[in-house]
Chain A
Amino acid sequence: MTAGPRQDFDPKSFPVARKGRYYDDFEVGQVLEHHWGRTLTAADNVAFSTATCHWSPMYLNAEFARAHGHPDAIVNPMLVLCTAVGLSVEDLSEAGGPFLGVDGCRFHRPVFPGDTLTARSTVIDKRESASRAGTGIVTWHTEAHNQRGELVVDYRRTNLVAKEPRS
């Protein structure tokens, strides 16, 4: 080992460990099991609900939620949706292209602090973009389940997807 700075360090000579998939990497019917999973905690719920001005007592007052028959404060469903999408980003949309929309989103059952989400997506449509060269439009159906395998949210998401890495 040589101590001290190496004189030959040239950042541009290092290959990028690229993340994400491109348009040609998707085929209709393909199923992608997304990475990591995420345990949603009370801290996540408070951070998200307060940061988004969503001061509902159902999410931020555990006694209020218990009085409605729940075991604890409910995790804000928008946090559940955002986390399902977040877990899917590397597989679906990280490589580039604006988020176009979400349709058919259903919240199937409440999530409580300590529940763990995992997400998976199925490619349901892909087509070339008529207006933007070098991009396509891909639609996925994403489902997120809790640790008991129960569906908590599902939705369709559509993005512009790049055909090749951004230069």
Chain B
Amino acid sequence: MTGPLSSLTGASNYFEDFHVGQRIRHARGATVDEVEGGWMSKLVMNTAQAHWNEDYLRGSPLGDGRVVFGLLTASVVIGLASQDTAENALAEVSLDGLRFTSPVHHGDTLYAFTEVIETSPAERDDAGLVRFRHWGTTQDDRVVFEGERTVLVKRRTHWSDR
């Protein structure tokens, strides 16, 4: 690497920067379409054609057209939240209580929201555990995804000058 590691990531999202109750409305939204929905479903071997056959769900109670694979909705929401929550992470640790509360279709735009639920020491002393609650909404403020995620985040004391 040329230059210090810490120059490649932000300086305001180390473990010490997170506190319980902290809320983040992530700045960028993402429209889910062919690439994020249909293609990624097929890329991850999801054989359920509701995700990539436009004709299949015509007239369905879920709404016309392709339904986005729920874990891709979760992946986009976590992706939109990733810079603010895990740019200085060492590892994704766990996910829990992932719920898909309303269908997402191609053309919908996702937004991400985060609240810090818990911060705790980790087994290694150069990082700590942060538990986040994430929400994903669409352009019309429908909540489509909710869930918790725990990340191992670098401590500034050990990493900011590396």
Residues on A lying within 8 angstroms of B by beta carbon are 19, 36, 38, 44, 47-49, 51-58, 61, 63-64, 67-68, 77-79, 81-83, 85-87, 89-90, 93-94, 98-107, 110, 155
Q: Which residues of B contact A63 (CB under 8 A)?
A: 1
Closest Cβ neighbor of A59 among chain B residues: B82
Q: How far is the CA of A63 from the CA of B65 in the complex (A)?
A: 42
- Would you list 25 pairs from A and B whose C-beta atoms are within 8 A, ordered by A residue? A19-B47, A49-B79, A51-B35, A51-B39, A52-B76, A54-B75, A55-B82, A55-B83, A56-B87, A56-B89, A64-B1, A78-B71, A78-B79, A79-B44, A79-B75, A89-B48, A99-B69, A99-B71, A99-B100, A101-B98, A102-B95, A102-B98, A104-B96, A105-B95, A107-B91
* Interface flag for B86 (CB, 8 Å): yes
* Residues 45-73 (chain B) with a chain A CB within 8 angstroms: 45-48, 62, 69-72
Q: A52-B40, A86-B44 are in contact. Are A61 and B100 (CB under 8 A)?
A: no
Q: How far is the CA of A107 from the CA of B152 in the complex (A)?
A: 11
Q: How far is the CA of A107 from the CA of B100 in the complex (A)?
A: 21
Q: A98-B62, A104-B96, A106-B94 are in contact. Are A85 and B71 (CB under 8 A)?
A: yes
Closest Cβ neighbor of B37 among chain A residues: A51
Residues on B lying within 8 angstroms of A by beta carbon are 1, 5, 8-9, 28, 30, 35-36, 39-41, 43-48, 62, 69-72, 74-76, 78-80, 82-83, 86-87, 89-100, 103, 147
Closest Cβ neighbor of A109 among chain B residues: B91
* A53 and B80 within 8 A (CB): yes
Closest Cβ neighbor of A156 among chain B residues: B96
Q: A86-B47, A93-B48, A103-B97 are in contact. Are A64 and B78 (CB under 8 A)?
A: no
Q: Which of A51, A83, A107, A110: most chain B Cβ within 10 A?
A: A51
* B40 and A51 within 8 A (CB): yes
Q: A67-B1, A102-B71 are in contact. Are A54 and B82 (CB under 8 A)?
A: yes
* A86 and B92 within 8 A (CB): no
Q: How far is the CA of A52 from the CA of B1 in the complex (A)?
A: 26
Q: Which residues of B contact A82 (CB under 8 A)?
A: 40, 44, 46, 69, 71-72, 75
B127 to nearest A CB, angstroms?
A: 11
